Amino acid sequence: MKKILFVFVCILTFSGCVEREDYELIIPCHTDYDYSLKHQAADSIAFFDSKHGIIGIRSPLYTGDEQVTLLGTGDGGHTWSDYSRSIYRPGSSFPMQMTGQSDIYMVNAGTLHRSVTGGYSWTPMPTASTEYWSSIGFSDATHAFRAGFFRPDYITGIAAYSTDGGETWTRSDPPGAHVGRSYFINNSVGWFVSSNQVYKTTDGAQTWTLLYEYLGDGSTYYMGNYFFLDSNNGWIASHLGILRTSDGGSTWSLTGNGAQWIILRVLFLSQMNGFIVATPSDGSTPMGLYKTINGGTTWIRILENVEEIISVGDYLIASAKDEKSGYLYFSTDQFTHFEKREAPLKSTEQSSHLVMGYPFWACM
């Protein structure tokens, strides 16, 4: 069986301030599934509303000479404008968030970039040489949060917050944190999740409290993509399965039946109704969109070849691909019905295990 290294990097998408970026950790995984396709779903996607959005893909992947193709839409994906520029970063993700119809923030190569032209042009924002940022999220137009790691050691987690729309930032690192990412449901309440730690803040990241730390038998309790619905209910994809909390992160319990999966994304709309983008770890089935109506105990596959899902207002938007093109699915009833719109993104024909995020192995 072929061995592949999966690298966790923060990729974010937002409902309110839902950060999606992951860890700069390398985890050995095993799969025989070949993810190579000429056409791919987007590596990064952000929508301000159901009409205004931007998607991007790196091409070619992992050659040391990646370029990013950016496409913007103002009509919900019916038509696209090419905003491609030389946003260069070998082997890196580039999470984005839109704070207006033309205002976009991107994390690229450890530095924040901003566009006020809908993605047509970008301006880097000041970053200290010891800081490597891998995620950014806004809870409203003025309150922003970002996470990353301390560049000299590539292990220590760092965080910062802004109260002026990202113009200036204040460092406020969770004490003793490893590399992780932050997630905020409003201007005050948020979490910082590392490979085996859960921190929480109730004052807008000014202070952090360690709620949970897994030590176990000496093995690392890798925790990947996660989602908080409110101040109490949250889910995390871990190497043992999907963990669930109902007390804000102080205690966690496993859901599911113990089957091993690779999970790209976790998204819940209520305590019972949620989605994951996942595939069985044996590679028997391509990535797809799964739905639960019982809080994660059981899952049903509802869409094929999906590799990302975001929530924007009343809409759920899923990114998918086939051998002809990339697609976006728009739905207002949790994919009971949906509209499929083409997103003309292509990549070079080469094998890759990375499309729209970084997989996380879990048991369900």
pLDDT at 51: 92
245 strand-pairing partners: 234
CB atoms within 10 A of CB 96: 28
Could you tell me if 290 and 278 are in contact, meaning their C-beta atoms sit under 8 angstroms apart?
yes
CATH class of the region 3-363: mainly beta
Closest CA to 246 of 224, 214, 268, 265: 268
Q: Which residue's structure tokens are 């938007």?
A: 317
pLDDT at 24: 26
108 strand-pairing partners: 111
DSSP 8-state secondary structure symbol assigned to residue 178: B
Rounded-to-integer distance, Cα 291 and Cα 297, Å: 11
pLDDT at 65: 56
Question: What is the biggest distance separating any 2 CA atoms in the chain, rounded to whole angstroms?
Answer: 53
- The CA-atom distances, in angstroms, between 152 and each of 131, 156, 174 are 9, 9, 17
The number of CA neighbours under 13 Å toward the Cβ of 244 is 17
What's the CA angle centered on 59, arms 152 and 113, to 5 degrees? 50
- The CA-atom distances, in angstroms, between 216 and each of 43, 219, 221, 222 are 34, 6, 8, 11
pLDDT at 273: 96
Q: Could you tell me the pTM of the whole model?
A: 0.76
DSSP for 234-291, written as a single string: EEEEETTEEEEESSTTSS-EEES---EEEEEEEEESSSS-EEEEEEETTSSS--EEEE
- The CA-atom distances, in angstroms, between 202 and each of 209, 246, 250 are 9, 17, 14
H or E element in which residue 292 lies: strand 288-292
Could you tell me if 240 and 221 are in contact, meaning their C-beta atoms sit under 8 angstroms apart?
yes
Q: Parse the chain into domains and list their residue ranges.
A: 3-363
Pairing of strands 96-98, 104-108: antiparallel
Rounded-to-integer distance, Cα 88 and Cα 130, Å: 20
Over the chain (364 residues), the average pLDDT of each successive run of 10 is 35 34 27 33 80 79 61 89 64 76 86 87 86 88 91 89 92 92 93 90 96 66 80 86 89 74 89 92 86 92 90 91 81 94 59 31 47
pLDDT at 241: 76
